[in-house]
Structure 1
């Protein structure tokens, strides 16, 4: 790491409670909006005249596109934050998403839609910056609570966004939904611009590439970060192998006309159980221990994928997805908490700024692989592959749990 005296001073002159509320609200609205790109891409493709085989082939690659373009910039966002402050980098995400949603709203061919999806790649990296600010602002005994509340806002956003999105697409069409999403992104950006306070004192900094090298070395030389990043990549691959194809599977079961409402309802119910699961597992984490609880939930995950694979009706599929959603997001949250509480203070900002790098990489690799499975076998087979990947992640964590202790 470079000498700490070269680092810029970033402080948040507001209470940790207000900061947590602002970040939770922003995360809630962002998830509610951005999830529509995944949930209703098949509906968009159907609207512009794609056949079922074309939808199966295009859904995965389209989902991966934003991450394919944006992942190269993820390491830079933490470096830019050290040089220019975190607030501009957090605001960047929401203004970029506003433009992307506006383009999607006027897209009537797949190429303009691809540009819109690609733009969202430049919105990646804000959550890690929020985590870094909360970790430094909240009292140590409240860090897990603050991070947990921000994480819990995501399933609530999925609940509201899924339900409302399905209703809007059913009644008014997918383009109307994207137009509303653009407005929500603008409102979110304005709220953060007005109320998120940050005191940034610039200091002399090394060259940009030197700072980037320092950030990457902070991850590489941290056994905790390296271990959790590896496990997170495999487990996230399990999630993203199936997530883009859940709407496609629902379309197969209920048909095109009924699909938007059912997609929204399925994701909405999943949001409820994710929220309940986050509260339950968060309350148990301090008592049971973060690592012990993480191992237990990771043991459940592969088993919960199997009913989804075997489901032949919408009720069974929804129940399976809802049960999985009570467990799966909390696994990622526990991984982030372990990193936040155990890496040294001088490395924390650099590591947390890249905490979503494994997830972003997984969202590139997994959907492309899922596309091959969906085209050459059956769509439902992606859920079986997800079960296998989740089991592999469990084996990796169990074999390396000793490397996740404080360093």
Structure 2
């Protein structure tokens, strides 16, 4: 337990920093692209979308590859590779001379990522069944809060220290992550599967394929819901606020309220899932999250939105750790890295799809419909989970008594 807590602390810090590194470009990207010599508003928007989204798309492709490598060579080597690689790449972004170099480095950042996948696999394989929800719940707060607070952190550093220093400071933090990982993370790794398995062989080795698919799709829907509001939050705050001088600050606070709530609630909901069953927590939090999106469409001022976003964070905090707990339960240890790699791919795709969905829905239907559609997706997912996961696992629990 002592080893687990130490690894959990180091992994939490590393996941938070790498998540910030993935997401902090949001508010400063258009400004940095303009700084690099692009002055057309249309081209700035186009390059911003490409540079931001390409990292998540490429990460979705490579996440299963690094998950497989974690199962083959150990989780700690993957942590060291990802943290050092990202430190170098992010620092290099501060030295680029044109937008094409920036896009190329963002692509490379997507290739070398994989810290979160290796962390989740490491903690999942070192945790017993009784404490899995608590451990994975605590770990999930790092990724969620880092991703949600990243844009605000990037905006703050860019405004107060300069755009280039966003990359240098983040790169330095990633280097510290590499050093602390090298010194303090301990892993006794024994490769259980000596044979190189193909995708079909891996799939045939998974005992509960239906449940794995449902949890992967749920992971996608969760991240899509969290990020559907990102493209429109500043515009929405502008509509709600009568004081336009603090729109950027209010938007950052509204978006980050969910991250703060997740830090508070995720470990507690993880403990609850250990006691009552992860499937129950997933079902309840999906329903509550879906319902909480609806009133966000009817708020009258930014403060009401912040309160609802905070409550939403309390609800969604139980989703990712519970999904990870169920995946850990049904996946053999030898395949844990690969399966978590696939679910992390779903998360990256959800982040990208959420940003695209929010912007397109707001453009064609209006901002308020973003909340309605996101709510509908979560509630539909809840119905699917109820019939295919909750009833099935609850019946198994009754039969085993």
Residue 196 of structure 1 corresponds to 185
Greater mean deviation of Cα atoms: 294-303 or 389-398: 389-398
Greater mean deviation of Cα atoms: 56-65 or 349-358: 56-65
- TM-score normalised by the chain length of structure 1: 0.81
User: 1 CA distance for matches of 2:352 and 2:316?
Assistant: 19
Residue 124 of structure 2 corresponds to 135
Residue 223 of structure 1 corresponds to 210
Contact persistence 2:134–2:267 (CA under 8 A): no
Q: 1:213 to 1:186 in 2, by over 3 A?
A: farther
Contact persistence 2:75–2:121 (CA under 8 A): no
Question: How many angstroms does 1:225 deviate by?
Answer: 0.9
1:390 to 347, 366, 378: 378
- TM-score normalised by the chain length of structure 2: 0.82
SS at match of 2:24: helix
Residue 316 of structure 2 corresponds to 328
User: 2 CA distance for matches of 1:299 and 1:204?
Assistant: 39
Question: How many angstroms does 1:91 deviate by?
Answer: 1.9
Is 1:37 paired with 2:22? no
Q: For 1:165-180, what aligned pairs fall within 5 Å after superposition?
A: 165-180=154-169
Contact persistence 1:242–1:386 (CA under 8 A): no
User: 2 CA distance for matches of 1:109 and 1:310?
Assistant: 42
Q: For 1:258-269, what aligned pairs fall within 5 Å after superposition?
A: 258-269=246-257
Residue 104 of structure 1 corresponds to 93
Residue 274 of structure 1 corresponds to 262
1:233 to 220, 224, 227: 220
Q: 1:114 to 1:260 in 2, by over 3 A?
A: farther
Contact persistence 2:14–2:174 (CA under 8 A): no
User: 2 CA distance for matches of 1:33 and 1:89?
Assistant: 17
Q: 1:199 to 1:148 in 2, by over 3 A?
A: same
User: 2 CA distance for matches of 1:18 and 1:332?
Assistant: 22
SS at match of 1:175: helix
1:317 to 305, 328, 332: 305
Question: How many angstroms does 1:113 deviate by?
Answer: 3.1
Report how many aligned residue pairs link the two structures: 393
1:58-100 Cα distance to aligned partner (Å, 9 max, x none): 6655443112223222222122223322222222222232234
Contact persistence 2:219–2:347 (CA under 8 A): yes
Question: How many angstroms does 1:337 deviate by?
Answer: 1.3
User: 1 CA distance for matches of 2:254 and 2:28?
Assistant: 13
Q: 1:331 to 1:59 in 2, by over 3 A?
A: farther
User: 2 CA distance for matches of 1:215 and 1:37?
Assistant: 36
User: 1 CA distance for matches of 2:121 and 2:53?
Assistant: 26
User: 1 CA distance for matches of 2:103 and 2:244?
Assistant: 22
Greater mean deviation of Cα atoms: 346-355 or 25-34: 346-355
Question: How many angstroms does 1:305 deviate by?
Answer: 1.4
Residue 351 of structure 1 corresponds to 339
User: 1 CA distance for matches of 2:158 and 2:265?
Assistant: 28
Q: 1:278 to 1:265 in 2, by over 3 A?
A: same
1:340-399 Cα distance to aligned partner (Å, 9 max, x none): 134344544432343312212323434333343344344554333322222222122123
Q: 1:344 to 1:201 in 2, by over 3 A?
A: closer
**RMSD between aligned alpha carbons?**
3.5
Gaps of 5+ in 1: 1-12
User: 1 CA distance for matches of 2:30 and 2:366?
Assistant: 16
Gaps of 5+ in 2: none
Residue 326 of structure 2 corresponds to 338
Q: For 1:365-384, what aligned pairs fall within 5 Å after superposition?
A: 365-379=353-367, 381-384=369-372
Greater mean deviation of Cα atoms: 95-104 or 37-46: 37-46
Contact persistence 1:36–1:161 (CA under 8 A): yes
Greater mean deviation of Cα atoms: 51-60 or 362-371: 51-60
Contact persistence 1:98–1:185 (CA under 8 A): yes
1:224-274 Cα distance to aligned partner (Å, 9 max, x none): 212211222233323333334434544666698634433443344333211
Question: How many angstroms does 1:298 deviate by?
Answer: 0.8
1:142-195 Cα distance to aligned partner (Å, 9 max, x none): 222222221233455468756644432332343322321111111111211222
